Amino acid sequence: MTSSPGAADPTTPAGPAAVPGLAEVPGLAGVGGLAGAGDLAGAGDLDLAGDVVELTAALVGIGSVSGAEDAIATAVHRALRVVEHLRVSRTGNVVVASTDAGREQRVVLAAHLDTVPPADNTAVRRSVGPDGPEIGGLGSVDMKGGLAVALHLAATLPDPARDITVICYDCEEVEAARNGLGRLAATDPALLAGDLAILLEPTGGLVEAGCQGSLQLRVHTTGRRAHTARAWTGTNAIHAMAPLLSRIAAYRPARPVVDGLEYREGLQAVGVEGGVASNVVPDRCTLRVNFRYAPDRTPAEALAHVRDVLATADGPAVAVEVVDDSPPARPGLHSAIVRELVAAAGTGVRAKYGWTDVSRFAALGIPAVNVGPGDPSRAHTPGEAVPEQQVRDVEVGLRRFLAGDPTRLM
């Protein structure tokens, strides 16, 4: 998840990547209603149609650090496969299940299976927080609660008013190249098809629309190397960076309103490299810059804007190199189906500041929003926990939307 900006951001790899075999470590599986610890056979016992909070706990009990999602993908695949009204496929650790009720519209529910690495928090914890009883443990907020909601809805809506595709995918919490949804979009885009995509990332139950883009740049200044004892014969590339840093420090980010939602941009220097030795005038300096931009700019416009900010009439020679560009997604609030979702969820709507996988759907022309249980500011923290009531509320809101008719609620 990326709503706590940068957290699951593809441009900001989250700590050590895979922890091979972690899912098999005794004690990571087998909590919350599963069979014995480390007993992957027990994972087949996921009860998708039962209580959605218990399903959340069971999913937290299956360790699934990025790169080690085999156990959870197997458990989810096994449980979905026996649901009669679902068409189910698995490719690697991406599991897709669809209803085929012949409805006019199809809604994609997308949830990643992986978590960030553990912080002494792999056990399922039940406690009482400010919002009542909570399920805690690694991934509870990001995003086993949302995953449970998606699986439960797919399993219990045999006759939905809108057809449902659930996509459970791996490697969201690591670099973009490994992302399971990205892989699916490249190899089998038809599986992503729909009239609306809902990512069940933690949003505190709100509808978070669109997402900001993220541009990662390296800005290089060059000079002329010389002995510091005869510094006048050289040109200092680190000094040349000073006016650029001043411009970035003084930059006033915009707060544009797009489709009625206020976004907040940000331009930050996030790293600096330079220097040769303590007696050498340096001839090179590199500044790493991150520009978070609202979805009213295209990636090309965002880059042109940063170049403008850095350009100085009498300034040093500057080379700007694009390292990564994750495009933004517009909120799509003008579309009828998104408005209906907002009404059904009944929780209000706000802008999404972080970059999320909604952008992948937007790139395919599919409106996409984030809605899920859990406070995004608790995601990736050792004490993450999701309020049980929020899991239930999101489930009810989405059920109302997917059933389309209160008599179909159960």
Q: Which two tokens stand for residue 210?
A: 């669109």
Least CB distance from residue 323 to Zn ion, whole Å? 23
Q: Which is nearer to Zn ion, 83 or 209 (CB)?
A: 209
308 is catalytic: no
Nearest distance from residue 219's CB to Zn ion, in Å?
Answer: 30
Closer to Zn ion by Cβ: residue 143 or 403 = 143
DSSP code per residue over 272-317:
EEE---TTEE-SEEEEEEEEEE-TTS-HHHHHHHHHHHH--TT---
**Minimal CB distance residue for Zn ion:** 1
Q: What distance in Å separates the CA atoms of residue 371 and residue 386, rounded to the nearest whole number?
A: 14
Output the CA torsion sign for 229, 233, 237, 243.
positive
Catalytic residue among 69, 134, 170, 172: 172
Taken in order 98, 100, 101, 104, the sign of the CA dihedral is positive
Nearer to Zn ion, 1 or 71 (CB): 1
Distance, in Å, from the CA atom of 285 to the CA atom of 367, rounded to the nearest integer, reads 42
User: Of the two residues 169 and 263, which places its CB atom closer to Zn ion in the complex?
Assistant: 169
Among residues 114, 134, 357, 375, the one annotated as catalytic is 114
| Tokens describing residue 352 | 């999404």
- Mark whether 388 is an active-site residue: no
Q: What is the CA radius of gyration of the chain?
A: 23
* Interface residues toward Zn ion, by CB under 5 A: 1, 8, 142-143, 201
- State in angstroms the smallest separation of the CB of 201 from Zn ion: 5
CA separation for the pair 155, 99 (Å, rounded): 9
Question: At closest approach, how far in Å is the CB of 356 from Zn ion?
Answer: 8
Q: In what order do the strands lie in the sheet with 385-387?
A: 125-129, 132-136, 385-387
CA atoms of 380 and 239, how far apart (whole Å): 38
Instruction: Supply the minimum distance, in Å, between the C-beta of residue 274 and Zn ion.
Output: 35
Name which of 282, 275, 219, 222 is nearest 248 in CA terms. 219
Alpha-carbon distances of 214 from 151, 167, 258, 364, rounded to whole Å = 31, 24, 17, 19
Q: How far is the CB of 306 from Zn ion (least distance, A)?
A: 27
To Zn ion, the closest distance from the beta carbon of 66 in angstroms equals 11
Residue in 194, 207, 189 with CA at minimum distance from that of residue 163: 194
Nearer to Zn ion, 1 or 138 (CB): 1
Nearer to Zn ion, 97 or 147 (CB): 147
Contact 398, 209 (CB under 8 A): no
DSSP structural state of residue 19 = -
Q: 53 vs 379, which CB is nearer to Zn ion?
A: 379
What region does 36 belong to: left with phi over 0, alpha with psi -120 to 50, or beta? Answer: beta
Distances (CA, A) of 276 to 187, 222, 225, 232, 287: 46, 13, 9, 17, 16
Q: At what angle do helices 145-156 and 70-81 cross, to 10 degrees?
A: 20
Chain CA centroid to CA 169, Å: 12
Nearer to Zn ion, 200 or 403 (CB): 200
Closest approach of Zn ion to the CB of residue 176, in Å: 14
User: Where in the sequence numbering do the catalytic residues fall?
Assistant: 114, 172
